[in-house]
Structure 1
Amino acid sequence: MAYHHLLHDLRVTVIAGVAAASVGFASSALAEPIPNKTLVYCSEGSPAGFDSAQFTTSVDYSASALPVYDRLVEFVRGGTTVEPGLAEKWDVSPDGKVYTFHLRHGVKFHTTAYFKPTRDFDADDVVFTFERMLDPDQPFRKAYPVPFPRFVDMGLNKLIVKVEKVDPYTVRFMLSAPNAPFIQNMAMAYASILSAEYAGQLLKAGRAADINQKPVGTGPFVFHSYMKDATIRYDGNPDYWKKGDVKISKLIFSITPDAAVRVQKLKQNECQVMSYPRPADIATLKADPDIAMPSQPGFNLGYLAYNVEHKPLGNVDVRRALDMSIDKQAIISSVYQGAGQAAFAPMAPAQWSYDKNLKAAPYDPAKAKALLAKAGLPNGFDITLWAMPVQRPYNPNARLMAEMIQSDWAKIGVRAKIVTYEWGEYLKRAHAGEHDAMLIGWTGNNGDPDNWLGTLLGCEAAKGDNDSRWCYKPYDDLIQKGRTTLGQDARTKIYVQAQQIFAEQLPFSPIANSTVYQPVRTNVVDMRIEPLGYVRFDGVSVK
Structure 2
Amino acid sequence: MVNTRTAVGGLRRLAAVGVAGAVALSMAACAQSQRGNNDGSSGGGKVGGTLTFGSEGAPKLFDPFYATDGPTFRIAHQMFEGLTGFKPGTAEVTPALAERWEQTPDGRTWTFQLRKGVKFHDGTEFNADAVCRNFQRMAGQTGAGQSSAVSQYWVDNFGGFADGAKPSLFRSCTAKEPHTAVIELTRSTSKFPGVLGLKPFAMQSPTALEKYNANNVQAQGDSFSFPEYALQHPTGTGAFRFSKYDKANNTVELVRFDDYWGGKSKLDKLVYKIIPDETARKQELQSGAIDGYDYPAPADWAQLEKDGFQVLKRPAFNIMYLGFTQKNNEKLRDLKVRQAIAHAVNREQLVKTQLPDRAQVASQFFPDTVDGYNKDLKAIPYDPEKAKQLLAEAGASGLSVNFYWPSEVTRPYMPNPKDIFGAIKADLEKVGIKVNPVTKPWNGGYLEDVDQAKADLFLLGWTGDQNTPDNFIGTFFGDPTNRFHTASASWGAQLASELKSADEEPDAGKRTKRYQDLNRKIVEEYLPAVPLSHSPPAVVFRKDVKGFTASPLTSTGESFAQVSKG
TM range (shorter): 0.7 to 0.9
Asked if 2 retains the 8 angstrom alpha-carbon contact of 1:22 and 1:88, the reply is no
CA deviations on 1:398-456 (whole Å, 9 max, x unpaired) are 12112323333344233332222244865566556554433222222212222222122
Asked if 1 retains the 8 angstrom alpha-carbon contact of 2:65 and 2:200, the reply is yes
Query: What is residue 202 of structure 2 aligned with on the other side?
Result: 192
Query: What is residue 514 of structure 1 aligned with on the other side?
Result: 535
User: Given the alignment of the two structures, is residue 35 of structure 1 paired with residue 39 of structure 2, yes or no?
Assistant: no
User: Given the alignment of the two structures, is residue 295 of structure 1 paired with residue 305 of structure 2, yes or no?
Assistant: no
Asked if 1 retains the 8 angstrom alpha-carbon contact of 2:66 and 2:152, the reply is yes
Is the alpha carbon distance of 1:23 and 1:105 closer, same or farther for their aligned partners in structure 2, counting shifts above 3 Å?
Answer: farther
Give the drift of 1:342: 1.2
Give the drift of 1:74: 1.2
Equivalent-residue separation in structure 1 for 2:214 and 2:289 (angstroms): 42
Say which structure, 1 or 2, has more relative contact order (CA 8 Å, 6+ apart): 2
Q: Secondary structure at the match of 2:476?
A: coil
Query: What is residue 52 of structure 1 aligned with on the other side?
Result: 64
When structure 1 is superposed on structure 2, of 413-422 and 342-351 the one drifting more is 413-422
Query: What is residue 494 of structure 1 aligned with on the other side?
Result: 514
Asked if 2 retains the 8 angstrom alpha-carbon contact of 1:409 and 1:416, the reply is no
Asked if 1 retains the 8 angstrom alpha-carbon contact of 2:372 and 2:516, the reply is yes
Match of 2:212 among 202, 210, 215: 202
Query: What is residue 186 of structure 2 aligned with on the other side?
Result: 176
Q: Secondary structure at the match of 2:241?
A: strand
User: Given the alignment of the two structures, is residue 368 of structure 1 paired with residue 351 of structure 2, yes or no?
Assistant: no
Asked if 1 retains the 8 angstrom alpha-carbon contact of 2:402 and 2:455, the reply is no
Query: What is residue 295 of structure 2 aligned with on the other side?
Result: 276
Aligned partner letter, 1:522: K
Asked if 1 retains the 8 angstrom alpha-carbon contact of 2:363 and 2:378, the reply is yes
Query: What is residue 165 of structure 2 aligned with on the other side?
Result: none
When structure 1 is superposed on structure 2, of 278-287 and 155-164 the one drifting more is 155-164
Asked if 2 retains the 8 angstrom alpha-carbon contact of 1:524 and 1:541, the reply is yes
Asked if 1 retains the 8 angstrom alpha-carbon contact of 2:54 and 2:293, the reply is yes
Is the alpha carbon distance of 1:330 and 1:132 closer, same or farther for their aligned partners in structure 2, counting shifts above 3 Å?
Answer: same
Is the alpha carbon distance of 1:204 and 1:293 closer, same or farther for their aligned partners in structure 2, counting shifts above 3 Å?
Answer: closer
Give the drift of 1:40: 1.3
Query: 1:67-466 maps to which residues of 2 (within 5 A)?
Result: 67-111=78-122, 119-137=124-142, 141=145, 146-155=149-158, 157=160, 158-203=168-213, 209-214=227-232, 215-227=234-246, 230-244=250-264, 246-289=265-308, 291-312=309-330, 313-387=332-406, 389-411=408-430, 412-423=432-443, 426-427=446-447, 430=450, 435-459=455-479, 462=480
CA deviations on 1:68-117 (whole Å, 9 max, x unpaired) are 21111111221222222222332222432111223333332224xxxxx6
Aligned partner letter, 2:551: E
Is the alpha carbon distance of 1:133 and 1:345 closer, same or farther for their aligned partners in structure 2, counting shifts above 3 Å?
Answer: same
Equivalent-residue separation in structure 2 for 1:454 and 1:418 (angstroms): 28
When structure 1 is superposed on structure 2, of 189-198 and 470-479 the one drifting more is 470-479
CA deviations on 1:31-83 (whole Å, 9 max, x unpaired) are xxx9321111122223333232334444332122x112111111122122222
Give the drift of 1:278: 1.4
Query: What is residue 30 of structure 1 aligned with on the other side?
Result: none
Is the alpha carbon distance of 1:393 and 1:69 closer, same or farther for their aligned partners in structure 2, counting shifts above 3 Å?
Answer: same
Give unmatched runs, 5+ long, in structure 2.
1-13, 37-45, 161-167, 218-225
Equivalent-residue separation in structure 1 for 2:313 and 2:148 (angstroms): 41
Asked if 1 retains the 8 angstrom alpha-carbon contact of 2:326 and 2:486, the reply is yes
- The TM-score with structure 2 as length reference comes to 0.81
Equivalent-residue separation in structure 1 for 2:356 and 2:553 (angstroms): 23
Give the drift of 1:492: 2.1
Q: Secondary structure at the match of 2:441?
A: coil
Q: How high is the sequence identity, in percent, across the aligned residues?
A: 29
Equivalent-residue separation in structure 1 for 2:402 and 2:514 (angstroms): 35
Give the drift of 1:346: 0.6
Equivalent-residue separation in structure 1 for 2:33 and 2:305 (angstroms): 40
Is the alpha carbon distance of 1:318 and 1:381 closer, same or farther for their aligned partners in structure 2, counting shifts above 3 Å?
Answer: same
When structure 1 is superposed on structure 2, of 331-340 and 341-350 the one drifting more is 331-340
Equivalent-residue separation in structure 1 for 2:174 and 2:71 (angstroms): 32
Equivalent-residue separation in structure 1 for 2:173 and 2:158 (angstroms): 16
Asked if 1 retains the 8 angstrom alpha-carbon contact of 2:82 and 2:202, the reply is yes
Q: Secondary structure at the match of 1:147?
A: coil
Is the alpha carbon distance of 1:132 and 1:435 closer, same or farther for their aligned partners in structure 2, counting shifts above 3 Å?
Answer: farther
Aligned partner letter, 2:194: Q
How many residues are treated as equivalent by the alignment?
513
Asked if 2 retains the 8 angstrom alpha-carbon contact of 1:292 and 1:522, the reply is yes
Match of 1:529 among 550, 555, 558: 550
Equivalent-residue separation in structure 2 for 1:145 and 1:302 (angstroms): 24
Is the alpha carbon distance of 1:512 and 1:22 closer, same or farther for their aligned partners in structure 2, counting shifts above 3 Å?
Answer: closer
Equivalent-residue separation in structure 2 for 1:311 and 1:212 (angstroms): 43
- Kindly report the root-mean-square deviation, in angstroms, between the aligned alpha carbons of the 2 structures: 3.2
Give the drift of 1:299: 1.6
- The TM-score with structure 1 as length reference comes to 0.84
Is the alpha carbon distance of 1:525 and 1:23 closer, same or farther for their aligned partners in structure 2, counting shifts above 3 Å?
Answer: closer
Asked if 1 retains the 8 angstrom alpha-carbon contact of 2:294 and 2:540, the reply is yes
Aligned partner letter, 1:318: V
Is the alpha carbon distance of 1:302 and 1:124 closer, same or farther for their aligned partners in structure 2, counting shifts above 3 Å?
Answer: same
Give the drift of 1:248: 0.8
